Amino acid sequence: DTAVSQTPKYLVTQMGNDKSIKCEQNLGHDTMYWYKQDSKKFLKIMFSYNNKELIINETVPNRFSPKSPDKAHLNLHINSLELGDSAVYFCASSPKSYREAFFGQGTRLTVV
């Protein structure tokens, strides 16, 4: 069983489009995250949710809107995609905040 799964794995889309990435974890963790990894492999946190509530929003443009329907799911919707949004987006979960993170396989987003 995949612990943290995100879909799709690859996403190619045109500038200006709206897209969503889905994430689910079956670990029973309370905390979920979205991270962005740039071309230099630097991992930067975007959002953190604890039991469906937003805890961290790291100065992310408001074109990015996370949604957590329940504590096992954290989806990411992106409006009006820009070229600079191209990156690998990782979903992760932790048993508690500030503890070890378990990552999904990533979604490689390419905006053309």
Partner 1 sequence: TQLLEQSPQFLSIQEGENLTVYCNSSSVFSSLQWYRQEPGEGPVLLVTVVTGGEVKKLKRLTFQFGDARKDSSLHITAAQPGDTGLYLCAASNFGNEKLTFGTGTRLTIIP
**15 in Cβ contact with 78 (< 8 Å):** no
Smallest distance from partner 1 to CB 16, Å: 28
DSSP one-letter string for 54-82: EEEE-S--TTEEEEEEETTEEEEEE-S--
Count of positions on this chain that bind partner 1 (CB under 8 A): 27
Q: How far apart, in whole angstroms, are the C-alpha atoms of residue 83 and residue 64?
A: 14
The burial class, CB within 10 Å (0-12 / 13-18 / 19+), for 30 is middle
Interface with partner 1 (CB under 8 A), residue from 55, 63, 79, 95 = 55
The 59-88 contact track toward partner 1, x by CB under 8 A, reads ------------------------------
Question: Tokens representing 53?
Answer: 């509530």
Q: Which is nearer to partner 1, 13 or 50 (CB)?
A: 50
Is residue 12 within the footprint of partner 1 (CB under 8 A)?
no
Smallest distance from partner 1 to CB 57, Å: 11
Q: Which residues bind partner 1 (CB under 8 A)?
A: 4, 31, 33, 35, 41-45, 48, 50, 55-56, 58, 90, 92, 94, 97-106
